Chain A
Amino acid sequence: MSTMLAIILTGVLVSSACALLGCFLVLRRMAMLADAISHAVLPGLVAGYFIANGPNILAGFLGAAAAGLITVLLVELLKNTRRIGGESAIGIVFPAMFALGTFLVSRYFTNVHLDADAVLYGNIEFVNFDRWFIGSTDMGPQALWVMGGLCVLNGLFVALFYKELKLATFDAGLAAALGFSPVLIHYALMGVVSVTTVGAFTAVGAILVVALMIVPAATAYLLTDRLPLMLGIAVLCGSLAAVLGFWVALALDASVAGSIAVMTGVLFGLALLWSPTHGLIAKQRRRARQRLHFARQTLLVHLLHHEAASNAAAENSVQHLSGELRWTPELARRVVETALRAGLIEQDAELLRLTAVGREQAQANLQTRALFTSAAVA
């Protein structure tokens, strides 16, 4: 397998594994807990190193995963004392864990290749050199197997406990009432997040794991209201970012993990601006449309109010509107134009008159207003 293909495939597997779990983290508002877990990896690795008395993948893996869970546990403990807010608890625990890790490394392992840089950066570039052998058979890049395994594990976790996860995420109270323990689900999710973080950090580094967990999921959250679709879009976004990020890194000769994270950000930015339902531009448009709609209704009521009066000719002229209703001439022109097109009013030189349809709507508006006022008074 070529080096390039190995890197891209690893990237896609890492981001898919992360994105699946990320959706639940984003929905449960626990994104920063993933950040905390990713920092706790360092002391866990050191502990694994201690226990195995040397570099041992399994010991490191278990140590780091345990450290992740301990972080979650400590955060919960601190939160439950009610002396500290949830976000402050996170902000105290993970720097302490990370500092502890750095301290242990510099105290006991100054000569060992276990520097904090590697934890933060990862080295997906060298994926193809670290191969897995069974006996003397070369099975291919080790990271590929690890991440493939994690992808399967996370996929199974989400598929098997889909109902429970969904229920506990959207209505923890109901979940508890129905006999599913939200606490158990919380720790199960956190356990899987820990294991995934540990597996992924060798490839993309601790902080970029956070990018892959949170950003594609948040992107998907802007694009859909349905959980299954959100999971799918998140995986797609993560994989796309992995592929794009690889090519950008190749072109710039820069860190692959870093540019994958940047690409997740770029995709998020696109969704933030142009999502048809939750994007900023769509929101702006919707607001403008509503403003115009409201202005049109105001115009109808205004015309109705003055149509029987003796000065109707003066009151109901186009020029008068901007003065009376404090509209800019531009807005007045657009309101009249759309109302004319909708057949709500008709224009006779400068004079505006309601059509039958327009009058009906104006009266309906007045009735609605009366309803609201009486409700407000009551």
Chain B
Amino acid sequence: MKLLLELFTDYTLRNVALGAALLGIVSGVLGCFAVLRRQGLLGDALSHAALPGICVAFVLTGSKAPLVLLAGAGLAGWVGTLLINRIVRDTRISEDSALGIVLSTFFGLGIVLLTWISKHNNANQAGLDRYLFGQAATLVASNVVTMAVLGGVALLVVLLLYKEFKLLTFDPAFAASLGFNTNRLSIGLTTLIVVAVVIGLQTVGVVLMAAMLIGPAVAARQWTNRLSMMIALAGLIGALAGVSGALISVSDHHLPTGPMIILSLTVLVLVSLFFAPARGLAWAWLRQRRQRRAMRAGRWQSKLKQGGQS
């Protein structure tokens, strides 16, 4: 209870919780499209590909302003996406290999740049590597505002292009036959995912970003068969995971925020998988057990007989 009160009074906690909630909403919404298009791991590749962008932005401008670094991250992530698309389209290399190639080589480049900067640049580079694991605890009000603006724009675009994105997700061939430029729409959607990744880098970091996109969408999928409902639920679940992760990490100063967000999210995913009505694994298991018991009790024989007589 005291913790909840602090949520509204404590400056740091408020920023962290707000930032995590924002990230949860944006990545939850965009993750729905990524997961339904079976591109869940794209977010993982993009977040790793963003690392060299952060370093290059720092080297070129000498600034550590989040907006500058995040612009670099976004650009690098975007280049990574185009490369992945090109490799998948024009060679026989499968999508998961293409993801792995871009992810690991870009990340390697990022590490080379990080180590190079730390040895050759007079300016203090400390703080660049916080994008690796994210440091939600260092979020200040201006960071949260930046995240809110970026996320708001992304959500607005989703709202405006909802119909097109829905069509692209479920029936790209039909979308193309209606005259929509599916290629451009696809790139647009991916660009929005890059925005979500960029928002997440500061909070949960490169490594855990994949789960922020996939987790809420997968959890929401268990509760509903409607896209609009799934998107709303995913945003909610993402926000819930974000806030609870932030609260848990603040309650004990040794706990890092990013991992706690991901662990709360994992719990939400598992609960949804097992206990969501209709699709829940627990219900399916109970149903199966009941049927098996009925079989063993021999009731099926009498049922068969009844069926034969009538």
Contact = CB atoms under 8 A, between A and B. Distances in A.
B2 interface: no
Contacts of B101: 31, 214-215, 218, 265, 268
A126 to B, nearest CB: 14
B211 A211 contact: no
Interface stretch (B61-69, B110-118, B151-159): B110-118
Contacts, number: 207
Interface stretch (A58-66, A98-106, A318-326, A344-352): A98-106
B103 A258 contact: no
Given A84-B218, A91-B41, A103-B255, A253 B120 contact: yes
Contacts of A83: 218, 221-222, 273, 279, 281
A374 interface: no
A264 B262 contact: no
Contact of A207 (B43, B48, B214): B48
A116 interface: yes
Contact of A31 (B43, B99, B105): B99
B91 A222 contact: yes
A218 B87 CA distance: 11
Given A96-B211, A255-B115, A87 B40 contact: yes
A309 B210 CA distance: 68
B109 A283 contact: no
Provide the main secondary structure of the chain A interface: helix
B7 interface: no
B218 A208 contact: no
A2 to B, nearest CB: 22
Given A121-B111, A207-B48, A91 B262 contact: no
B38 interface: yes
Contacts of B114: 255, 258
Contacts of B74: none
A34 interface: yes
Contacts of A106: 254-256, 259
Interface residues of B, number: 63
B259 A99 contact: yes
A280 B90 contact: yes
A211 B97 CA distance: 10
Contacts of A205: 111
Contact of B266 (A99, A207, A262, A268): A99
B237 to A, nearest CB: 13
Contacts of A92: 211, 214-215, 218, 266, 269
A81 B222 CA distance: 12
B258 interface: yes
Contacts of B213: 91
B278 to A, nearest CB: 11
Contacts of A81: 273, 281
Interface in B234-266: 252, 254-256, 258-260, 262-263, 266
B273 to A, nearest CB: 6
B79 interface: no
Contacts of A278: 91-92
Given A29-B97, A255-B114, A215 B104 contact: yes
A214 B38 CA distance: 21
A272 interface: yes
B55 to A, nearest CB: 11
Nearest to A121: B111
Contacts of A208: 104, 107-108, 111
Contact of A95 (B113, B210, B256): B210
B92 A221 contact: yes
Contact of B100 (A35, A39, A95, A100): A35
Contacts of B252: 107
Interface in A87-130: 87-88, 90-92, 94-96, 98-100, 102-103, 106-107, 110, 116-117, 120-121
Contacts of A262: 105, 108-109, 112
A99 B208 contact: yes
B105 A268 contact: yes
Contact of A258 (B100, B111, B210, B218): B111
A272 B103 contact: no
Closest 5 CB pairs of A and B: A261-B108, A265-B105, A211-B104, A258-B111, A95-B211
Interface of B: 35, 38-41, 43-44, 48, 87, 90-94, 96-97, 99-101, 103-116, 119-120, 129, 132-133, 207-208, 210-211, 213-215, 217-218, 221-222, 252, 254-256, 258-260, 262-263, 266, 269, 273, 279, 281
20 contacts: A26-B97, A31-B97, A35-B103, A87-B40, A88-B40, A99-B262, A100-B263, A120-B132, A207-B108, A211-B108, A213-B100, A218-B97, A221-B97, A222-B93, A260-B108, A264-B104, A264-B108, A268-B101, A280-B91, A283-B90
